[in-house]
Amino acid sequence: MTVMAERASSQLSVDMFERIADFAEREDETVRFEFIDGRIGLRKSTNGNHGAITMWLIRQCMRARPELDLNPLQGLKVEAYRKGRARPDGVLAPVDHFVGQGDWADPRGVLMAVEITSYDSDTHRRDRVEKPRAYAEAGIPVYLLIDRDNLSILVHSDPDLEDGYRDIHVVRLGGKVALPDPVGIELDTEELKQYVD
């Protein structure tokens, strides 16, 4: 991003960002923008393995907790005072929780946000630094990071508005991982090994 683009995005209002994001998505459905820490980020199209992991997780959540939906399309208002917009790879909430909320929903009532690392230069900053902080500030109880680079699953819990998530539990890909309450699901991640590029 150029210095000029950085200055423009730091002065960009949330309303203007939403108009830009809506326009871009109408023109090209593979384009997804986020607005975190006053910067516009572009969510790149994912590959088949990324999508397979998403679908695997949706099936696991449906089996374990049929009263919940893992929505891979819902955007969230994140950061203190609603100054950010994020598009997680999945948002776990009660069935029909997002009805009538539009593209950018209030995070209240969300049980878990999910991200799956992509093989791009921004994945460290976006998925391991900015997103956990934004989701913790939004009060989302659990952040699940499926880290394909490090062959691990990271479960972030106990969010604090100042410090981020206070508890981070790491499990090697292939192991069993317990997602704490209010999610309350155990995942056997052995099957995910086949989706690592």
At 80-106, the pLDDT tens digits run: 645 789 999 999 999 999 999 999 999
Q: Which two tokens stand for residue 64?
A: 């374990």
Prediction pTM value? 0.79
Backbone angles phi, psi at 170, to 5 degrees: -115, 130
2 falls in which pLDDT band (50, 70, 90)?
very low
- Distance of alpha carbon 117 from alpha carbon 125, whole angstroms: 11
Q: Between 122 and 112, whose confidence is greater?
A: 112
Poorest-pLDDT segment among 122-136, 157-171, 178-192: 122-136
Residue 132 clears pLDDT 80, i.e. is over it = yes
Q: Which two tokens stand for residue 4?
A: 């000029």
* Interval 164-184 mean pLDDT: 97
Residues counted in the chain: 197
pLDDT of 108: 95
DSSP per-residue string spanning the chain: --HHHHHHHHT--HHHHHHHHHHHHHH-TT-EEEEETTEEEEEPPP-HHHHHHHHHHHHHHHHH-TTEEEESS-EEEESGGG-EEE--SEEEEETTTTTT--SEE--TT--EEEEE--SSTTHIIIIIIIHHHHHHHTT-SEEEEEETTTTEEEEEEEEETTTEEEEEEEEETTSEEEETTTT-EEEEGGGGGGG--
Beta 164-172 vs 152-160: how paired, if at all? antiparallel
- Distance of alpha carbon 72 from alpha carbon 74, whole angstroms: 6
Q: pLDDT averaged over the chain?
A: 84
Q: Judge if the upstream peptide bond of residue 141 is cis by omega within 30 degrees of 0.
A: no
List all residues 6 or more positions away from 38 whose beta carbon is below 8 Å from its beta carbon: 9, 10, 12, 83
pLDDT of 80: 66
